[in-house]
């Protein structure tokens, strides 16, 4: 254990100053996003909107994240990762504030668009930034640390936002607005550490049409990328059916309060953060492909338990285990993806992954809202189980022999 802690400490120091600054900014950013994930669905319903509109709001956010990911990737090449990350935080903070103070249909949908665009810039910029600002031997650790910081930050956002709404002492509307404003400002504080990042990029000056062709070549030139995108899209579709609306599920089906919902989500984020720190030690033993496959399959029984459970504590515990097992695969798959392409293609692949994930989630969250409103609160969970099982099998079948073929030098990719 002493040696493990020593290695962990050395790895944290070794990832470099730029990574430390980014992780600090990420912590602030995901505090606001964590609070938003807990409160905004409930805030909209408190303001008179129904489950169908909440599904539409989430869909607009996800569609804008996905559709705008490719333009965001192109812009990122032109302005650099540092400024793209700063723009992302500005857009997310503005989106939260706009929704908070103007809860009317058109403004709420505009806020979803701004928030989605901010998420798009953040998601597209972060993976290549981590890949290119960290020593090769510590890249898997950097992705895992980023994932754990994100989970811990969202945990604090989940926990304290729910408690603030319940305990501020004003009317429920005012409590929501104070809490959302507070966390929007916290998100904007992430701009401070980003200012100190030192970036030496040769910015892209290629025409837009040429960059679109470059994005197409990422898929055409590398036979594995299409399969990777299909798996990523199926996981996104399954997650969209349940994850964005889990707080509504807890409130309407299990009778949970805002504080209880925040606590359950916070515990889930905490356990996932701890689990994420274990992935750099699991991957050398199992390999990336088996790690992703086994953990995804292990999460499926807990989805079934959520759907079949009638106790809030039972459902909450199952949700915590499901989230930990499923989300542990995220940094492993991302690092695997970034190594499949060369340095110049990483922003494009990152954009494609986000486009596929967000677009599929955008469609499935509308379906999830419809099913919850018109059929039952549990059918979405069984559909997600089927998708996760199919995806785990396909991912293993397609990539089981690629483990040793994914090593890529900065300017030369391996055709796998």
Q: What distance lies between CA 410 and its chain's CA centroid?
A: 26
User: Does the pLDDT value for residue 291 go beyond 70?
Assistant: yes
- CA-closest candidate to residue 99, choices 119, 86, 115, 120: 115
Residues 6+ apart with CB under 8 A from 304: 381, 382, 385
CA distance 226 to 110: 32
The pLDDT value given to residue 15: 58
Q: For residues 206 and 214, is the Cβ–Cβ distance under 8 A?
A: yes
pLDDT digits 0-9 by tens, 351-377:
788 778 777 877 787 787 777 777 777
Beta strands in 216-267 (DSSP E): none
Average pLDDT for 285-312: 82
User: Does the pLDDT value for residue 18 go beyond 80?
Assistant: yes
Q: Left (φ > 0), alpha (ψ -120 to 50) or beta: where does 169 sit?
A: left
The pLDDT value given to residue 209: 60
Q: For residues 30 and 150, is the Cβ–Cβ distance under 8 A?
A: yes
The pLDDT value given to residue 411: 42
How many CA atoms within 13 Å lie on the side-chain side of 299?
A: 30
User: Does the pLDDT value for residue 230 go beyond 60?
Assistant: yes
CA distance 390 to 387: 5
User: Does the pLDDT value for residue 169 go beyond 50?
Assistant: yes
Fold of 11-196+205-405: Growth Hormone; Chain: A; (1.20.1250)
Q: For residues 190 and 26, is the Cβ–Cβ distance under 8 A?
A: yes
**Of the ranges 2-11, 27-36, 207-216, 304-313, which is most confident?**
27-36
**Of the ranges 153-162, 254-263, 379-388, which is most confident?**
379-388
- At residue 412, the 3 state secondary structure works out as strand
The pLDDT value given to residue 309: 66
CA distance 365 to 379: 13
How many CA atoms within 13 Å lie on the side-chain side of 395?
A: 29
* Mean pLDDT over each residue of the chain, to the nearest integer: 77
User: Does the pLDDT value for residue 389 go beyond 80?
Assistant: yes
User: Does the pLDDT value for residue 1 go beyond 50?
Assistant: no
Angle at 312 between CA 311 and CA 316, to 5 degrees: 120
Average pLDDT for 85-91: 88
User: Does the pLDDT value for residue 406 go beyond 60?
Assistant: no
Predicted confidence band of residue 195 (pLDDT cuts 50, 70, 90): confident
pTM above 0.85? no
- At residue 52, the 3 state secondary structure works out as helix
Average pLDDT for 244-271: 73
- CA-closest candidate to residue 290, choices 385, 403, 389: 403
- Element containing residue 283 per DSSP (H, E): helix 258-286
Predicted confidence band of residue 156 (pLDDT cuts 50, 70, 90): confident
Tokens at 142, concatenated: 């950097």
User: Does the pLDDT value for residue 405 go beyond 50?
Assistant: no
Predicted confidence band of residue 203 (pLDDT cuts 50, 70, 90): low
User: Does the pLDDT value for residue 160 go beyond 70?
Assistant: yes
Predicted confidence band of residue 253 (pLDDT cuts 50, 70, 90): low
CA distance 62 to 249: 19
- CA-closest candidate to residue 8, choices 279, 197, 271, 270: 279
CA distance 235 to 240: 9
Q: For residues 63 and 366, is the Cβ–Cβ distance under 8 A?
A: no
Q: What are phi and psi of 321, to 5 degrees?
A: -65, -40
The pLDDT value given to residue 6: 39
Predicted confidence band of residue 413 (pLDDT cuts 50, 70, 90): very low
The pLDDT value given to residue 202: 56
Q: Left (φ > 0), alpha (ψ -120 to 50) or beta: where does 408 sit?
A: beta
CA distance 359 to 228: 15
Average pLDDT for 226-246: 82
Predicted confidence band of residue 404 (pLDDT cuts 50, 70, 90): low
């Amino acid at each position: 254990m002493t040696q493990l802690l020593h290695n962990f400490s050395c790895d944290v120091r070794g990832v470099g100053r730029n990574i430390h600054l980014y992780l600090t900014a990420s912590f602030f950013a995901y505090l606001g996003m964590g609070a938003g994930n807990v409160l905004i669905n409930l805030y909209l319903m408190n303001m008179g909107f129904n489950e169908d509109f909440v599904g539409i709001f989430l869909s607009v956010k996800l569609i804008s994240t996905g559709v705008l990911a490719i333009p965001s990737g192109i812009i990122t090449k032109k302005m650099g990762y540092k400024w793209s990350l700063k723009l992302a935080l500005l857009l997310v903070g503005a989106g939260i504030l706009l929704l908070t103070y103007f809860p009317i249909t058109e403004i709420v949908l505009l806020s979803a668009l701004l928030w989605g665009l901010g998420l798009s810039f953040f998601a597209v910029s972060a993976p290549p930034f981590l890949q290119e600002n960290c020593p090769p031997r510590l890249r898997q650790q950097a992705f895992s640390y980023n994932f754990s910081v994100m989970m811990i930050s969202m945990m604090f956002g989940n926990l304290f936002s729910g408690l603030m709404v319940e305990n501020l002492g004003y009317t429920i509307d005012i409590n929501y607005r104070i809490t959302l404003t507070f966390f929007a400002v916290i998100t904007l504080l992430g701009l401070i550490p980003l200012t100190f990042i030192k970036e030496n990029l040769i910015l892209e000056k290629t025409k837009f049409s040429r960059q679109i062709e470059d994005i197409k070549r990422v898929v055409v030139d590398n036979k594995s990328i299409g399969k990777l995108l299909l798996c990523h899209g199926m996981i996104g579709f399954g997650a969209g059916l349940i994850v964005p609306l889990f707080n509504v599920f807890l409130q309407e089906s299990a009778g949970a309060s805002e504080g209880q919902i925040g606590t359950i989500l916070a515990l889930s984020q905490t356990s996932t953060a701890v689990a994420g720190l274990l992935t750099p030690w699991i991957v050398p033993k199992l390999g990336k492909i088996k790690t992703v496959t086994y953990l995804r399959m292990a999460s499926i029984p807990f989805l079934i338990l959520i759907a079949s459970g009638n106790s809030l504590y039972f459902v909450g515990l199952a949700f915590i285990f499901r989230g930990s097992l499923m989300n542990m695969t995220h940094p492993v798959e991302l690092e695997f993806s970034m190594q499949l392409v060369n340095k110049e293609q990483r922003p494009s692949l990152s954009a494609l992954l986000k486009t596929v994930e967000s677009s599929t989630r955008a469609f499935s969250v509308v379906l999830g809202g419809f099913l919850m409103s018109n059929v039952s609160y549990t059918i979405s969970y069984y559909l997600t189980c089927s998708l996760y099982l199919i995806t785990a099998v396909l991912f293993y079948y397609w990539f089981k022999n690629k483990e040793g073929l994914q090593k890529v030098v900065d300017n030369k990719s391996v055709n796998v």
